[in-house]
Chain A
Amino acid sequence: MKLLSFTALQIRRKILAREIRTSDLIKELYERINKVDPDVQSFLALNEKAAFDAAKEIDQKIANSVKVGLLAGIPIAIKDNICTEGIATTCASKILRNFIPPYDAFVIKRLKEEDAIIIGKTNLDEFAMGSSTENSSYKITRNPYNLNCVPGGSSGGSTAAVAADIAFMALGSETGGSIRQPAALCGVVGLKPTYGRVSRYGLIAFGSSLDQIGPVAKDVCDTALLLSVIAGKDKHDSTCADIGVPDYLKGIDGGVKGFRVGVPVEYFGKGLDDDVRTAVDKALKIYEKLGAKIVEVSLPHTEYAVAVYYIVANAEASSNLARFDGVRYGFRSNDVKGIDEMYCRSRSEGFGNEVKRRIMLGNYALSSGYYDAYYLKASKVRNLIKKDFDEVFKKIDCIICPTSPVPAFEIGERVNNPLEMYLSDIYTIPANLSGIPGISIPCGFSKKGLPIGLQILTNCFEEAKMLQIAYAFERETDFHLAKPKL
């Protein structure tokens, strides 16, 4: 048990120092998964045999003093919308039940190159559409801090697994906050990289102009380590930037002395939970104490972000999900007469309600006669939101604000109110729309003992600075060390 509560960097040190063997670690990990995951329900599939094989190989390498990768022996969980060759990748959808990708996503290739051990695939809202991981076709993941509460979403399986110490690290994906929001709700660290920082090749697309894969980890340093591995140019992704990847751990302890921290007034308005507000205010005090200057800033177009997001993301989703038609792979309805019925029934039976709702909304926004009024207009407002950030980043180093307006809510509480559910992402969506990076770190607990996340946003490709600012806080506090009782 003790072994599994270490961070990835700590466990790596032990592995490299031959204090522990990777195979023993993996064995202990799967034992805990078997014990804990029936409650948490974070995994959709386990990769046990391959994980043991990989562990043995790494042990061999270390025994023979062969050079090993940056993530040697570290058990990592993968959100089930990232393609893994030979391992079913379902997007938590019935339409991809039993779908086994013939290729690895770029990030998976990188993890393997650095000797990470892929332990399993984690649950998500179907096709990453949701903020609670309740929209999965297979299971509802629970918050390790309170099994009656949601872990957030859509990367709820990944954040719950890391919080429950059944994965040292995990990959999640974001379209509108799907890493940061569940990281906040589960009390772990989650980072959304700059759009174009990490290749999307192999990430099953939801909203292509918004999607990014990002790390979920127990603390800021582990997050930095994982980001260093997955970031960088990929020739298979034209939107992936050809910008060098720094070692994000280097200089991470530089502190925040003299940094200007922007606090956007629009992020502290109606709908913000009192406990969250209190925790964030306290965090800002700590930053002030650490030598940062807190300045109030304004992002005037914030109020349009959610509306813009649901037009752009759904429009792209309606097109991205068109390929799931039962022709080449995935679910195909039986006893159909003709191609039209095959399409219709396969998709009706294969997709869940939230996915169908978004496909319909997206198709509507792109329809002839509505395109200008919806998609085109939304794209223009998106630019204004981006400009808001451009303006404030001329004057400040980062923005600090809550990640989610509320701590984890109860399972079932919001499922019948999509609009309320959509508002869970009100503070995270602007970063996706404008492409800037964001991180959520633990900054306290609610009166009910649920984790609260602090969000830090910087300008594009300033992940190093963002991690430095996050680490400055983490070093001063011990919220990241808290463990749920399971």
Chain B
Amino acid sequence: MDYEVVIGLETHAELSTITKLFCGCSTKFGAEPNTQVCPVCLGMPGVLPVVNKKAFEYALKAAIALNCTINRYTNFDRKSYYYPDLPKNYQISQNYYNLGIDGYMTIEVNNVIKKIRMHNVHLEEEAGKLIHPENAGADYSLVDFNRAGVPLLEIVSCPDMRNATEVESYMHALKKILLYTGISDCKMQEGSLRFEASISLRKIGEEKLGNRVEMKNLNSMKSVLKAIEYETSRQSELLDRGEKIERETRLWDEIRERSVRMRSKEEAQDYRYFPEPDLLPFVIDEKWICSIQETIPELPLERKQRFVETFQLSDYDAGLLIEDKILADFFEECLKEVNLPKVFCNWIINDLLREVKEKKLDITSLKIKPDQLASLVIMIDKGTISNTIAKEVFSEMIDTGKEPKAIVEEKKLVQISDEGQISEILDKVIASNPNAIEDYKKGKKNALAFLMGQVMKESKGKANPKVVNELLKSKLEG
């Protein structure tokens, strides 16, 4: 039988604040275990949390960017459960008055725009990390609390996705928004962006949602997609056999590529939420919202549409440019120098991205600056250097961050367009390649290309090909 798959996503993103949510400890990734801790994030007796305003404002920014209604009265709640990585055995989170509710995000799948609704966006604290010793049978585990208390944004979507493609598009779009707004570095490998999916099936045409299965332990976007595919077929097989789907939580086993039961609904935890008495409620006024609103840049999808419409870029090219805010910003900076959108687009998505990939560069700290690329493009346009030379110069600009003019002068790469100078080179080449001349005269057209090559070689690539071509023809035929 055919079923409709219904998917909702829960996203956790660590906010890129310098300090933790409720204390002044560093959030830097990768430090020695338990070196970024204090009595507060260790949950020592007697300590109290104090909210990191920056983290709160980042969360507010995300909620606004995701078109949420902002709760004008919001507070924190305690979520209770016992786990050794949770110092207080409760997590300070939000439950009764989430920061943002009823939002949405637009995604694009096969050129169709779709709205995915957001159930809520809220702020909470990250837990620590358990380290299990490698030797089997060890009777202990270790805990690293460096991560405990890092601000964590939870974004809960409504069950509005219908297939893995939409989920993929949602994950990418959401990641881009978080990166564009600068509130998270979204490094999945460092755990700063994580997804959990809830998946249910229903007969096509049916309104009522089926029992949902919550999927945890999804360590990459690929895992999310695989788990959805796996769950879809597992659940449809069960339904085909007339069995019921139980509401449960399952863990994704990445190695065996299958899901296994973690706990049933009956075993679900009672988190005993209640308002955090150690923190005062927040009252958010219009002024505060407006001031945060002003810090939100144009979001990826709108930017892409603008690039297509304003610069006549193809949808594909514009898509590549907006994929990373840094690239899109670079592109627009170039245009301020000279309005050649297609040219810059090509340089960026072809040459720049190739260099970045080959040289394994960090895009956030490129040495080349937009105005430098613009100068390079102008030099080509004026015929100062050839396209071929330009690539060489560009590569050096990437490495050193030097001005193209300086590189060209230093290496004497200015294009030779002077007929007299080229003529001299031509004479030399003709004199030393009698065979090729013969071939040309016999009608072998590729001899011309060979001779052109020799000229370029002799001029170290600096000869203006157009001039060479014309002069060579006239000399050979004349």
Interface residues of A (CB under 8 A from B): 82-83, 89, 91, 96, 99, 101-103, 105, 200-205, 207-209, 235-239, 315-316, 318-319, 322-325, 327-329, 339, 343, 363, 366-368, 371, 375
10 smallest CB-CB distances across A and B, nearest first, come from A322-B89, A208-B277, A366-B272, A209-B277, A204-B45, A83-B46, A202-B46, A323-B88, A204-B46, A368-B270
Whether B394 is near chain A, meaning CB under 8 Å from some CB there, is: no
A323 touches B50 (CB 8 A): no
Q: Contacts A367-B270, A367-B272, A375-B274 known; A322 to B90 CB distance under 8 Å?
A: yes
A208–B88 Cα gap in the complex (Å)?
14
Instruction: Give Cα distance in the complex from A28 to B204, angstroms.
Output: 88
Answer whether residue B279 sits at the interface, using C-beta atoms and an 8 A cutoff.
yes
The answer to whether B48 has its CB under 8 Å from any CB of chain A is yes
A-contact bits for B264-292, CB 8 A (1 contact / 0 none)? 00000011111001111000000000000
* CB contact under 8 A between A102 and B88, given known A89-B45, A238-B278, A319-B80: no
Pair B45/A323 contact, Cβ less than 8 Å:
yes
Partner of B274, one of A89, A236, A315, A327: A315
Residues of A within 8 A of B279 (CB): 238-239
A238 close to B39 (CB less than 8 A) = no
Complex CA gap A203/B271 in Å reads 25
Q: Is the CB of A323 within 8 A of B89?
A: yes
Contacts of A327 in B (CB 8 A): 84, 143
Q: Can you pick out 12 interface pairs between chain A and chain B where the beta carbons lie within 8 Å of each other? A: A83-B46, A99-B45, A102-B44, A201-B46, A201-B48, A202-B46, A237-B50, A238-B51, A322-B89, A324-B45, A325-B82, A328-B87
Q: Which residues of chain A are within 8 angstroms of B273 by Cβ–Cβ distance? A: 366, 371
* Cβ contacts under 8 Å, A323 to chain B: 43, 45, 87-89
| Interface secondary structure of B, over-half rule | loop
Residue of B nearest to A208 (CB): B277
Is B84's CB under 8 angstroms from A316's CB?
A: no
B262 proximal to A (CB < 8 A): no
Q: Specify which chain B residues have a CB less than 8 angstroms from the CB of A339 in the assembled complex.
A: 84
Q: Are A239 and B280 in contact (CB under 8 A)?
A: yes
Name B8-58 residues within 8 Å CB distance of A.
Answer: 39, 42-51
Cα A322 to Cα B42 in complex, Å, equals: 13
Expressed in whole angstroms, the minimum distance between the Cβ of B269 and any Cβ of chain A is 10
Kindly provide the distance from the CB of B251 to the nearest chain A CB, expressed in whole angstroms: 18
Q: Is the CB of A236 within 8 A of B90?
A: no
Residue from A82, A237, A239, A325 whose CB has the most chain B CB atoms within 10 Å: A325
Which B residues fall within an 8 A CB radius of A? 39, 42-51, 78, 80, 82, 84, 87-90, 143, 270-274, 277-280
With the chains together, A83 CA to B45 CA distance in Å? 8
Q: 19 additional contacts, CB 8 Å, given A101-B45, A366-B273?
A: A82-B46, A83-B45, A102-B44, A103-B39, A236-B48, A238-B279, A238-B280, A239-B48, A239-B280, A319-B78, A322-B82, A322-B90, A323-B43, A323-B87, A323-B89, A329-B45, A343-B82, A368-B270, A375-B274
Query: Once the chains bind, are B42 and A328 in contact (CB under 8 Å)?
Result: yes
Looking at the assembled complex, report how far the CB atom of B81 sits from the nearest CB atom of chain A, in whole angstroms.
9
Give, as a whole number of angstroms, the nearest-CB distance from B335 to chain A.
Answer: 47
Residues of A with C-beta under 8 A to B42: 328
The residue on A at minimum CB distance from B130 is A339
Please state if B272 and A368 are interface contacts (CB–CB under 8 Å).
Answer: yes
A319 touches B274 (CB 8 A): yes
Residues on A with C-beta less than 8 A from B48 are: 200-201, 236-239
CB atoms of B44 and A103 under 8 A apart: yes
Residue of A203, A235, A327, A329 with highest tally of chain B CB at under 10 A: A327
The answer to whether A205 and B44 have CB atoms under 8 Å apart is no
Closest-CB distance, A104 to chain B (whole angstroms): 10
Is A316 within 8 A of B44, CB to CB?
no
Task: Evaluate contact between A101 and B44: CB separation under 8 angstroms.
Answer: yes
Give A342 Cβ to nearest chain B Cβ, in Å: 9
Smallest beta-carbon distance B280→chain A, Å: 6
B87 touches A322 (CB 8 A): no
CA distance A367 to B46 in the complex (A): 25
Report yes or no: B50 in contact with A235, Cβ–Cβ below 8 A: yes
Which of these, A89, A238, A319, contacts B90 with CB under 8 Å?
Answer: A319
| CA gap between A205 and B88 in the complex, in Å | 12
CB nearest to A327 among chain B residues = B84
| Chain A nearest Cβ from B149, distance in angstroms | 14
Distance between Cα atoms of A236 and B46 in the complex (Å): 11
Q: Select from chain A the residue with minimum beta-carbon distance to B143.
A: A327
Residue in B88, B143, B274 whose Cβ sees the most chain A Cβ within 10 Å: B274
Instruction: Say how far B423's CB is from chain A's closest CB, in angstroms.
Output: 81
Residues in chain B near residue A329, CB distance under 8 A: 44-45
Q: How far is the CA of A324 from the CA of B88 in the complex (A)?
A: 8
Cβ of B50: which chain A residues have Cβ within 8 Å of it? Answer: 235-238
Q: Closest approach, in angstroms, between the C-beta of A164 and any C-beta of chain B? A: 27
Contacts of B88 in A (CB 8 A): 322-323
Chain A residues within 8 Å of B46, by CB = 82-83, 89, 101, 105, 201-205
Task: State how many angstroms separate the Cβ of A203 from the closest Cβ of chain B.
Answer: 6
Q: Who on chain B is nearest to A201 by CB?
A: B48
**Whole-angstrom distance between the Cβ of B95 and the nearest chain A Cβ:** 11
**B-chain residues with CB within 8 Å of residue A201 when the two chains form the complex:** 46-48
B82 smallest CB distance to A (angstroms): 6
Residue of A with least CB distance to B279: A238
Closest to A209 in B: B277
Contacts of A343 in B (CB 8 A): 82
Shortest distance in angstroms between B27's beta carbon and chain A's nearest beta carbon?
19
Identify the closest chain A residue to B271 (Cβ). Answer: A368
In the assembled complex, which residues on chain A have CB atoms less than 8 Å from the CB atom of B87?
323, 328
Give complex CA distance A91, B278 in Å: 20
Which B residues lie within 8 Å of A83 (CB)?
45-46
How many Å lie between the Cα of A236 and that of B280 in the bound state? Answer: 13
By a CB distance below 8 angstroms, the chain B residues around A202 are 46-47
With a cutoff of 8 Å between Cβ atoms, the chain B residues found around residue A91 in the complex are: 45
For residue A83, which residue of chain B has the nearest CB?
Answer: B46
Residues of A contacting B272 with CB < 8 Å? 318-319, 363, 366-368, 371
Contact A328–B274 (Cβ < 8 Å): no
Contact partner of B49 (CB less than 8 A), chosen from A96, A238, A328, is A238
How far apart are the CA atoms of A99 and B277 in the complex, in Å? 25
